[in-house]
Amino acid sequence: MRIQSVILLVLLGFTMSSLHAQKQVNIPGFGTLPVTKSGDNYQVTLYNYGTFDFRGTLNPFDLETSVTVDQLKKFPGYEVMSNLGLKDIKLKVSSAGLFVGAKADTDKNLKVLFDFFNIKAPYVIINSKISKSSFALEGILDFSREPVVAEVIPPAGTELHVEKLSMLAGAGTDGANISVISELHMKPTKWDPALKTKFELAYNLRNQEITGSGSMMDTWADPFGLDKHLKKNSILFTNTAVSFG
C-alpha cells in the first residue's frame, strides 16, 4: 500500500506540474491557444500549420523562433514565400498576431525586377501577417532621400528616378505572383523634365515576367522638345497613361 501511495503521489505531482506549465495566449486570427513551457522554450501549436518551440516572454506576450521555408508549407501564402528566396526567417507571435519576417534575396527570383529599376540592394525585408486562412505580405524599399536612377532607353535619355518600391501579396494573390507599386519620377526623353509617375505592376516570381501600367500625375509640357518646332505650350499632356510588358 505504501509503494502504491508513493507512485500515486509522484504521478499526481507530474500531472500538477504539467498543468502548471501550460498557459493560454490569445493570438489575433487564431483565438485562444494553449502554451506549454518546457525549460526556456514555449511550445505552441498554430492551428494545423504545425507545432513550434518559441523563445521569449508571455508577459509581455512576445515569442520568436527561427524556421526554414519548408516549415511554412502549410501556411497561406507559402507559394509566394517559397519563391521569394527567403533567408533568416523568423516566426513571431504576440498580442499583435502571427508574423513571418525574413530577408528576400534580390539576386534570385527578384533579379529581373530589381535590375529593371537599377536597385542594388542585396535583399529586401519581407513581413507577412498570417491568420487561419489568409495572409498579407509586404516588402518596402524607400529611396525618397536619394532616388535610384534607372536608364531605360539610353539614346533617348528615358530614365526612371525611383523613390519607393512596394511589393505586396495577399489572400487574392494568384500563385507565385506579387503586386509591385513604384512611386517615381519618369523622364520620358532627354528633352523632358522628370514627371511624377506611379506604376502598378504584376510580377511573376517563377517566369520573371513583368506586366503593368501607370500614369503620370504631372502635366507633361513641351513633350519631346516640340516647342522649338511649334507654338510654345501648344501641346500639353495630363493624366498620361503608360503601359509595358
- Whole-angstrom distance, CA of residue 191 vs CA of residue 194: 10
Phi/psi region, residue 73 (left: phi>0; alpha: psi -120 to 50; beta: rest), is alpha
Task: Please list the residues that pair with 25 across neighbouring strands.
Answer: 33
The range of the structural domain enclosing residue 206 comes to: 23-244
pLDDT tens-place string over residues 63-85: 999 999 999 999 999 999 999 99
CA distances from 3 to 9, 15, 50, 164 (A): 10, 18, 40, 73
User: Within a domain: residue 127?
Assistant: yes
Range name among 91-95, 162-166, 211-215, 237-241 with the lowest pLDDT average: 237-241
Q: What global pTM score does this model have?
A: 0.81
User: Within a domain: residue 96?
Assistant: yes
User: Within a domain: residue 37?
Assistant: yes
User: Within a domain: residue 238?
Assistant: yes
Domains contained in the chain, number: 1
DSSP 4-15: HHHHHHHHHHHH
User: Within a domain: residue 16?
Assistant: no
Query: All 3 cell numbers of residue 18?
Result: 504539467
Range name among 2-6, 40-44, 139-143, 210-214 with the lowest pLDDT average: 2-6
**22 pLDDT higher than 60:** yes
Mean pLDDT of the chain: 87
User: Within a domain: residue 2?
Assistant: no
**187 pLDDT higher than 50:** yes
Range name among 29-43, 101-115, 208-222 with the lowest pLDDT average: 208-222
